Structures are given as structure tokens and as C-alpha cells.
A = this chain, B = another copy of it.
């Protein structure tokens, strides 16, 4: 097999998992942090910054774009990338929705 059985889960569960998957690589975390700091960047900036091959960076950017975390617009021969604010907040809220479900059980009925 090797393929996730998405039909067994709710849309919300699949959605959070997809967002998490986008964040599940240190290079993509580094790209996002760079963007959060610099607002915008080009592929080439990241190649210098991260030390990965150009094709590899391009691949990671593609994955981030796929889930909507970043967007890119052509600027001459370059492509300018930035965070998509709406999507970023949306994902933040989804994670918060998950994390905030936790209530410290005053009665220690944990194992």
C-alpha cells in the first residue's frame, strides 16, 4: 500500500494533516522564517541562505505554494515569493483549534 486512507477521516482532519505536512521539513520552516523576517524573497536568496541546490529549493517552494502558505509573482526573470496572510492565519487557527482542545485534567485520570 503506502497511500494514506483519507476517506476514513474528516475533511478537517485531512486538512490539518496536510498543513502539518507542509511544515514537516526544516528547509520549509527555514523558508517560512526567512519570509516572515524579510517579507519577500527570490528562489536565489534561499539557495544562498540555506545551502540546498536550486532545484531542491524550487521543489520546497512548490510544496508550500500547493497548500497556499506562500504565493509568488513573476518579476522579470525572477519570482518574488511571500507569505499568504489569509492562509497563514487560517492554518494558525486550525492548529490552535487542535491545541486548545486540551484541558489539563485536574483529576489525574491519565495513565
Contacts and interface: CB of A to CB of B under 8 A. Distances in A.
Report copies per complex.
Answer: 2
Interface in A11-67: 13-14, 16-18, 20-21, 23-30, 32-33, 36-37, 39-40, 50-52
6 contacts: A14-B26, A17-B26, A21-B21, A23-B24, A24-B24, A72-B111
Interface of A: 4-6, 8-10, 13-14, 16-18, 20-21, 23-30, 32-33, 36-37, 39-40, 50-52, 71-73, 75, 80-83, 85, 88-89, 91-92, 95, 98-99, 101-102, 104-105, 109-111
Given A4-B25, A13-B26, A83-B110, 10 more contacts: A8-B51, A9-B27, A20-B24, A20-B29, A23-B24, A36-B98, A37-B101, A72-B111, A88-B99, A89-B102
